[in-house]
Amino acid sequence: MDLTEVTYITEDKFNILRSGKLEKNDLIMSLRGSVGKLAVFDTKDKHKTGFINAQLAILRLKGNLENNLILYFLWYMNSSIFETQLKSVISGSAQPQLSATSLKKLFIPIPPDSEKKGIIKIISEITEKMNAKEKITEIILMDLKTLKQSILSKAFKGELGTNDPSEENAIELLKEVLETK
């Protein structure tokens, strides 16, 4: 959850809004518009809190639960299995919405602890690998962009040729390459 553009309220209004108060590790789900979008309220500062509006629902896990269990629920609720359930209880087509009552009817399987830990471990490993590959891809794309700019710069300065009069002009070659893309 990105908290960079949040609106702050004064402390006197704090008690009035108690029903929508967020706590660390709450799952927040959108009930209107982009129904089913999820976020975890994971503030590092225990003194900072937040409040939701009527378009959101707080999904709070009971008991003293570890962070990984929150991730299990987040991953499950982003799965196609849960999405199918969600679509069956969404109403409206132009402005889709989900009632809190319908949300309570959705099924979330809770496997035994040993299985849950295995699921969390596998998904964590896959997520780490995906993040690493995403970073590598971003670096490669930046390098390609820099290389393209460098080649274009040299081409327009006439610095790409081999100075062999029998070879085709570098600018003409570059034009051909750019036209094929």
Which domain CATH number covers 42? Answer: 3.90.220.20
Residue 7 has pLDDT above 60, yes or no: yes
The answer to the question of residue 180 being in a domain is: no
The answer to the question of residue 93 being in a domain is: yes
DSSP 93-152: SSS-B--HHHHHT-------HHHHHHHHHHHHHHHHHHHHHHHHHHHHHHHHHHHHHHHH
pTM: 0.58
Measured between alpha carbons, how far is 104 from 111 in angstroms, rounded to an integer?
19
Residue 139 has pLDDT above 90, yes or no: yes
The answer to the question of residue 70 being in a domain is: yes
The answer to the question of residue 102 being in a domain is: yes
The CA dihedral of 61, 66, 68, 71, to the nearest 10 degrees, is: 20
Total domains in the chain come to 1
* The pLDDT of residue 138: 93
Report helix angle 113-157 to 170-180, nearest 10: 140
Residue 164 has pLDDT above 70, yes or no: no
Is the pLDDT higher at 100 or at 14? 100
The answer to the question of residue 40 being in a domain is: yes
Expressed as residue numbers, the domain containing 18 is 11-110
With cut-offs at 50, 70 and 90, classify the pLDDT of residue 105.
confident
